[in-house]
Structure 1
Amino acid sequence: MGTGGGRRVGRPRADRRPDSGLTPRAELLDAAAELFTTRGYAATTTRAVAERAGMRQASMYHYVSGKEELLAELLESTVTPSLVCARELLADDTVPAERRLWQLCRTDVEVLCGGPHNLGGLYLLPEVRTERFAGFHAVRAELKDTYRQLLAATAAGGALAKSELDLRTDLLFGLIEGVILVRRSDPQRPVPAFAEATADAALRIAGI
């Protein structure tokens, strides 16, 4: 069958970006992660994301509704792996709670600092406070509650009054998320050693 003057099927790729083997949606997420963390969310247009992913702007809307959907998925990707780990640790009462809490802290730091882009830095965007990102806030709240439950299961945490337990949880969780700023100022810091040192400091804050 000849092509004639028919409409071209598929999405044209930018010449400067070789085929990565990713799905179109994954390419858009990767492009958005790069641009949001280097240019800034507000300064990044949907056209720039599409072009970086190697497609036309009109083609982009076959896969995502726009920048907000991309940002929401990127944010959730910084929490979901930690939440999966947290649920498993919470269910495993064969390991002392102190050790499980330390493992969660270490894993969470590795997730926040992992990958080629500092996605944790997106937490600081004012746009993230809006209702559009309720899904991210829900999984983040569940993760924080798991921290609280693990802390309460330790000998030190179990001796705390509810208000003090809540405060210690806030401080511990705040320290873990604070690695975002440290990572931004020193992106070359080795992640494994940084994660372990942060987990050690987190347990000291927790009183363990």
Structure 2
Amino acid sequence: MTSRVGRPRASGAMASSQDAKRAVMEAAAELFTATGYAATTTRSIAERAGLRQATLYYHFPAKEDILCALLAETVRPSLQVARTLPGAEGDAATKLWALAYSDIQLLGAARYNLGALYLLPEVASPGLATFRQERAELKDAYRGLIDQIPDEAPTATRTDLAFGLVESIAVVRRDEPDLDIDAHAHHGADGVLRLAGFHSPNSQLRSAAMALLEVPL
């Protein structure tokens, strides 16, 4: 009889559907980032979650479906921020700082370092097309803001550099487990502005950007 690693939970109709689904995702996030995606089995995920494997399959028919759900959580909140910015007050630099700050915070402050999964070969599979589309939409939001900031460098180049800086939080976090995420997000957002061609981010701009996010500085 296999012993369960996670917290014992009821299965089937007695279990809370949302709790069970969340337990699967939390267990998978831990195992994918610690053990590796390829080396993690659905059985090990179910055991870590304290669920029967049949319950896992009820929520996620395949391991790739779990990966898809986890990756969606790394991009959709930032995409929601990006979608609200066009109608908000403020110039492009302020909006770009706000987007970069919130994006770095999302990737950096999550319990598990899911941004590190972006380089998995499985990300190119057809089943993850929605994630790729949403990430592309997010990058387009960066591009639209960067295009409004005059600079000699092409918009595409500045966007690639800025977007790469934001997502580099996964590597920094891996190498520095005790990283001050909030300080890094502030400096990272400043860096994004400089890469975009805005070379003098200041406290007034940062305060205005935080106001867009309704977050105190």
Of the three residues 76, 83, 87, the one matched with 2:79 is 83
CA shift digits 1:139-190 (9 cap, x unpaired): 0000000001111223x25xx58xx111111111111111211111012101
Q: Where in structure 2 are the equivalents of 1:20-99 lying within 5 Å? A: 23-92=19-88, 94-99=89-94
**What is the TM-score normalised by the length of structure 1?**
0.85
Measure how far apart 1:15 and its partner are.
Answer: 7.3
Code of the residue aligned with 1:139 in structure 2: it is: E
Measure how far apart 1:63 and its partner are.
Answer: 1.2
For residues 51 and 104 of structure 2, the distance between their equivalents in structure 1, rounded to whole angstroms, comes to 34
> Does the CA-based 8 Å contact 1:90-1:150 persist in structure 2?
no
> Does the CA-based 8 Å contact 2:6-2:47 persist in structure 1?
no
Of the three residues 112, 120, 140, the one matched with 2:115 is 120
Code of the residue aligned with 1:118 in structure 2: it is: N
Q: Unaligned regions of 5+ residues in structure 1, if any?
A: 1-12
The structure that has the greater radius of gyration is 1
Aligned counterpart, 1:192: 182
Aligned counterpart, 2:207: none
For residues 152 and 165 of structure 1, the distance between their equivalents in structure 2, rounded to whole angstroms, comes to 6
**What is the TM-score normalised by the length of structure 2?**
0.82
> Does the CA-based 8 Å contact 1:90-1:146 persist in structure 2?
no
For residues 126 and 165 of structure 2, the distance between their equivalents in structure 1, rounded to whole angstroms, comes to 25
For residues 207 and 152 of structure 1, the distance between their equivalents in structure 2, rounded to whole angstroms, comes to 10
Task: Identify if the C-alpha distance between structure 1 residues 24 and 165 changes in structure 2 by more than 3 Å, giving closer, same or farther.
Answer: same
For residues 14 and 65 of structure 1, the distance between their equivalents in structure 2, rounded to whole angstroms, comes to 21
Partner-residue secondary structure (3-state), 1:78: helix
**In percent, how many aligned pairs have the same letter?**
46
Root-mean-square deviation (CA, aligned residues, Å) is 2.0
> Does the CA-based 8 Å contact 2:46-2:53 persist in structure 1?
yes
Equivalenced residues, count? 190
